[in-house]
Amino acid sequence: MNKNSKWYAGALVLVGVVVGVALVSAGTSVVHWSGSTQFCGTFCHSMDAAYASFQKGQHGKLNSGYEVGCVDCHLKYESVKSISQAQVVGLLWHKAQSGTRSLIGEIQGTMDTPEKQIAMRPELAKHVTDWMKSVNYVTCRGCHDLNNFKPSKDKPMVAQMHKAMADNPATDCVACHTEAGHKY
């Protein structure tokens, strides 16, 4: 086909539309599948130690039957209930970035044994907590509304204390809740 013909241009547009529609419809399920705890925790062996320690951590064994997955804490806005379109783009971008980083690591085998993973843990944990601080623990806050903790009879101060921290961007949840995500 002559590259200058309008048929060529038309065909390109058509191909673009078809691919676009296919990506959008496959995309949502790929995005969900690759974000499942099953996928993050078992498909990538780089995450063996993180998965095991997650299961021992505070959210890996909730009695309520409520499931908190890897991405709920690790992906920006994942746990936030209603988000704007700009935030959806932010979420997908963050997902694409961290997914790519994990995939490269997986292929290179930088973290293919639990020993290597434990050795790398301080550095990785710092990376994660730095990121969480930089987004003001948006993922934790998406599920835990610091303004609305139910005051318990035996520890009434807990609700008050969190309420006081609700609007404080310097609140470092993991400094106090060291086993919220993982317990080694």
Residues 6-65 that bind ligand HEC (CB under 6 A): 37, 40-41, 47, 50-51, 53-54, 58-59, 62, 64
> Does 72 participate in binding ligand HEC (rule CB under 6 A)?
yes
Virtual torsion, Cα 121, 51, 61, 66, nearest 10 deg: 120
Could you tell me which stretch among 10-18, 20-28, 81-89, 136-144 binds ligand HEC (CB under 6 A)?
A: 136-144
The Cα–Cα gap between 46 and 121 comes to 11
> Does 149 participate in binding ligand HEC (rule CB under 6 A)?
yes
Which residues fall within 8 angstroms of residue 77, CB to CB, at 6 or more apart? 83, 87, 88, 90, 91, 138, 139, 142
Rounded alpha-carbon distances, angstroms, from residue 184 to 22, 37, 58, 139? 42, 18, 12, 22
Site residues (CB under 6 A) for ligand HEC?
Answer: 37, 40-41, 47, 50-51, 53-54, 58-59, 62, 64, 66, 68, 70, 72-74, 79, 121, 124-125, 128-129, 137, 139-144, 146, 149-150, 152, 155, 158, 162, 165, 171-177, 180-182
